Chain A
Amino acid sequence: MNIQALLSQFGEKYLLALLTTYKLTASAFILALILGTVITIMRVSPVKPLRVVADFYVQIFRNIPGSALLIILVYALPYLNVILSYYAAVLIATTLIPAAFCSEYLMSGMNTIGTGQIEAARSLGMTFLQSIKNVVIPQAVRSSVLPMTNLLVATMLTSALASQVPLNPTDLTGIVSYINTHAVGGVTAFLISAILYCGTAVIIGQVGNQIDRKVRILR
């Protein structure tokens, strides 16, 4: 099947699939940033149980395979009377895993600041909140640009989990499977999705590099 025939038959579905992937990626990424930040605050807090729980969270979700998590959310939770929609299950899986990595990146971003600058802020008479606002957050944010760019791409790749559940409209990976089981889409269907994924990843990477170049902190 050539590209024209493919697009005339499945063009609209492709557009919806692209939008599904983008929507999933964007919402999961924002949720992961929020959750990752909360987890990080817990991990650096002086309250021991919060630290332990947040550390535990990170170890679980950076190590669990995405498919295993999705399967548990979709097929196992109903046994506990927790029933999620397919979309919600995919969104949760695509959020929980990147949130763990987000926290890891924030932790290493904070570690590059060094204890000396915190002491310097303290010695100037800054309170805890002032030193966080003036020294820790600006530096952690600025040194997290590249990791967060990678995280956004990783979130997009993780969102392909959507192809493993019946979603309508499906995502960019699901549509390849759909077309290939409904018609002989062949290589073309695969290539369109591949190029859309990869093109998006390259653009995200470029934008990330541009921002990073502007805000990078010389050390």
Chain B
Amino acid sequence: MSAANVTIRDALYEAPGPKTKKRIRFFTVVSLVVLAALIFLIIRQFYVTGQLDAKYWSLFTRLTTWKFLAGGLAGTLKVALVSSVVSFAIAFLMMVGRISKNKIVSWISTALIELSRGIPTLLFIYFFFLVAPQLGLKLPTFWKITLPVALSAAGVVAEVLRSGVNAVPKGQTEAAVALGMRDATVFTKIVFPQAFRYVIPSLISELVIVLKDTTFAYVVSYADLMQNARVLISNYDALLSVYLVTALIYILINYLLNKASVAVARHRSAVPGATK
């Protein structure tokens, strides 16, 4: 009854007695002291190396700085968004291929999914950046980053979609077939919409991976947040502060995306497969 909403995190230790409470208080104080010392040392290191100087941080009080970063962020989001859409489309095809009754189609799709999942994004990027031009494939910079990021994510998305399809109760298909629907109609009208809803949280989490991968845009010199940060650095000669702030922006966006994913998952926690 009372244990219903307790996570393992709180159940691992039982309610402390007076001695344990004392011990916890002791370690709390000790850890606070250590923590304070660490923070002090870090700040001191910033101070003695002059990295706390106003010249490194004053640029963040200017609106133009933020406008410029926002411009970069727009580029990042554009790549992330288009990558996601492209990767979803590829993933959908690979997933349908993998669950196909045709053995050859299924085998090829599985192999493609494994390839996509087993190759680092950077290798895909080098393919489009260095190898593709040798094959006569000259792409605009935007696609040189967007396509590899999409291909790299597609395998995982395909597997996420497949787990969603597997989570749809068999009875749904049987009922639809009993109504005289064709296989394709059953899949597009009945099974997939439900599967999609199951996996929305996982798809949002996948956005985080896509967004992280877009930071490799500098390899192909596409003007994303990271690239604009570099411009700021050379303009203001403030490397440390700009990179820290930029990293923080990425962390914040991804944090919010993860939060959204968890919120959606919790919202439909009764649904099977939603946790995958």
**Do A and B touch directly, given a CB cutoff of 8 Å in the complex?**
yes
* Chain A interface (Cβ < 8 Å from any Cβ of B): 43-50, 53, 59-60, 62-69, 71-72, 75-76, 79-82, 107, 110-111, 113-116, 118-119, 122, 128, 132, 136, 153, 156-161, 163-164, 172-173, 176-177, 180-181, 184-187, 189-190, 193-194, 197-202
In the complex, per-residue mask of B239-276: 1 if CB is within 8 Å of any chain A CB, else 0:
11001101100111011001000000000000000000
CA distance A177 to B128 in the complex (A): 11
CA distance A136 to B119 in the complex (A): 35
How distant is A56 from chain B, measured CB to nearest CB, in Å? 11
Which B residues lie within 8 Å of A115 (CB)?
A: 3, 6, 8, 11
CB of B126 within 8 A of CB of A164, answer: no
CB of B134 within 8 A of CB of A71, answer: no
Interface bin, chain B? 35 or more
Which A residues lie within 8 Å of B218 (CB)?
A: 67
12 A–B contacts from the bound complex (CB under 8 Å): A44-B12, A50-B27, A63-B251, A75-B239, A80-B51, A115-B8, A153-B118, A160-B123, A187-B134, A190-B127, A193-B123, A198-B118
* Chain B interface (Cβ < 8 Å from any Cβ of A): 3, 6-9, 11-14, 16, 24, 27-28, 31-32, 35, 45-46, 48-49, 51, 114-115, 117-123, 126-127, 130-131, 134-135, 208, 211-213, 215-216, 218, 226, 239-240, 243-244, 246-247, 250-252, 254-255, 258
CB of B114 within 8 A of CB of A80, answer: no
CA distance A187 to B135 in the complex (A): 8
CA distance A113 to B3 in the complex (A): 13
Which B residues lie within 8 Å of A110 (CB)?
A: 8-9, 12
Closest chain A residue, CB of each to CB of B9: A44
How distant is B85 from chain A, measured CB to nearest CB, in Å? 20
CA distance A156 to B121 in the complex (A): 11
How distant is A127 from chain B, measured CB to nearest CB, in Å? 11
CB of A81 within 8 A of CB of B121, answer: no
Closest chain A residue, CB of each to CB of B45: A80
CB of B126 within 8 A of CB of A136, answer: no
- The interface centre, meaning the residue of A76, A153, A186, A197 with most chain B CB atoms within 10 A of its CB, is A76
CA distance A45 to B8 in the complex (A): 11
CB-CB under 8 A for A46 and B24, given A115-B8, A201-B117: yes
Which A residues lie within 8 Å of B8 (CB)?
A: 44, 107, 110-111, 113-115, 118, 136
CB of B216 within 8 A of CB of A63, answer: no
CB of A76 within 8 A of CB of B239, answer: yes
Which B residues lie within 8 Å of A180 (CB)?
A: 126, 130-131, 134
How distant is A208 from chain B, measured CB to nearest CB, in Å? 13
CB-CB under 8 A for A190 and B3, given A49-B28, A79-B239: no
CB-CB under 8 A for A46 and B13, given A67-B215, A160-B121: yes
Other A-B pairs beyond A114-B8, A128-B13, 13, CB < 8 Å: A43-B9, A49-B35, A59-B255, A65-B213, A71-B226, A75-B243, A79-B51, A118-B8, A128-B14, A157-B121, A160-B121, A173-B122, A186-B135
